[in-house]
């Protein structure tokens, strides 16, 4: 049944406008980061790595969480209208399959978003006439960003499930981005969900923000994913009873 739920969610987004958000919103931090890099060549001398710090500064701190919130709100949009939630919960589908089906689709889009921002980064680097290719270490950062992104996506999917407004979860994600940026410079960064993307991708830092904390970062990502799924499934089951 989980496979059926995933297929259904994939059909829902096949021709949806979230792909426009997927394509164009990451372009904004890529352009802003590249422009910031070009305007500060006197200070940013590490070429590909310096460009990475600037692109990820805008992407992880201000754009990623709201973008994922748009994805999540869209997936719950139909169910949040009228009495469609009750119709869904009275269908012969387990609550865990409903949420995990949506989560699987959100994870896929999140990973695609990561690949897209990396492609934009490569394009920006070539347009900025940087020599060669990015250092291999950046592939580790993009992989860690995927883990942090999945944790944020799970939290946002839970929020979108509970708040039936499309805009409210996006607003929460915007606030989360700002607070995540502030927390990313503290020792609590690896414990706060909206900072995980920042520290994972090592945004705007020359040294590794996870030096010595890699295991804690991985556990924190896994914990937010697990807790969000557990809470969502329990809440859906309670709603099923009330329906």
Residue 95 in contact with residue 240, Cβ under 8 Å?
yes
Q: How many CA atoms lie within 13 A of 182 on its CB side?
A: 5
**DSSP 3-state of 203:** coil
d(CA 65, CA 76): 17
CB 180 within 8 A of CB 198: yes
Q: For residue 140, what are the contacts with CB-CB under 8 A and spacing of at least 6?
A: none
- Residue 242: per-residue pLDDT: 47
The pLDDT assigned to 237 comes to: 83
Q: Is 82 left (phi over 0), alpha (psi -120 to 50) or beta?
A: left
pLDDT at 83: 65
What is the model's pLDDT at position 59? Answer: 97
Q: State how far the Cα of 114 lies from the Cα of 120, in Å rounded to an integer.
A: 10
Domain segments of the chain: what residues? 2-242
pLDDT tens track of the chain, all 243 residues?
Answer: 788 889 888 888 888 899 999 999 999 999 999 999 999 988 888 899 999 999 999 999 999 999 999 999 999 887 777 666 766 666 778 889 889 999 999 999 999 999 999 999 999 999 999 999 999 999 999 999 999 999 999 999 999 999 988 999 999 999 999 999 999 988 889 999 999 999 999 998 878 889 888 999 999 999 999 999 999 999 988 874 444
pTM of the model: 0.93
């Amino acid at each position: 049944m989980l496979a059926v739920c995933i297929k259904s969610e994939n059909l829902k987004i096949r021709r949806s406008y979230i792909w426009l958000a997927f394509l164009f919103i990451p372009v904004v931090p890529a352009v802003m980061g590249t422009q910031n890099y070009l305007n500060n060549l006197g200070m940013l001398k590490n070429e590909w790595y310096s460009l990475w710090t600037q692109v990820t500064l805008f992407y992880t701190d201000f754009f990623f969480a709201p973008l994922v919130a748009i994805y999540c709100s869209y997936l719950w949009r139909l169910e949040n209208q009228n009495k469609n939630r009750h119709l869904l919960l009275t269908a012969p589908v387990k609550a865990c399959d409903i949420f995990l089906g949506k989560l699987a689709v959100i994870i896929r889009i999140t990973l695609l978003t990561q690949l897209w921002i990396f492609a934009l980064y490569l394009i920006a680097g070539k347009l900025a006439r940087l020599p060669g290719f990015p250092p291999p270490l950046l592939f580790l950062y993009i992989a860690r960003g995927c883990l942090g992104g999945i944790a944020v996506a799970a939290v946002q999917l839970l929020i979108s499930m509970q708040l039936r407004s499309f805009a409210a979860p996006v607003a929460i994600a915007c606030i989360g981005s700002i607070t995540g940026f502030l927390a990313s410079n503290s020792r609590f960064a690896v414990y706060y969900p909206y900072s995980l993307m920042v520290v994972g991708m090592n945004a705007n830092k020359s040294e590794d923000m996870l030096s010595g904390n890699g295991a804690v970062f991985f556990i924190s990502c896994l914990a937010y994913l697990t807790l969000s799924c557990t809470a969502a499934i329990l809440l859906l089951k309670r709603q099923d009873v009330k329906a």
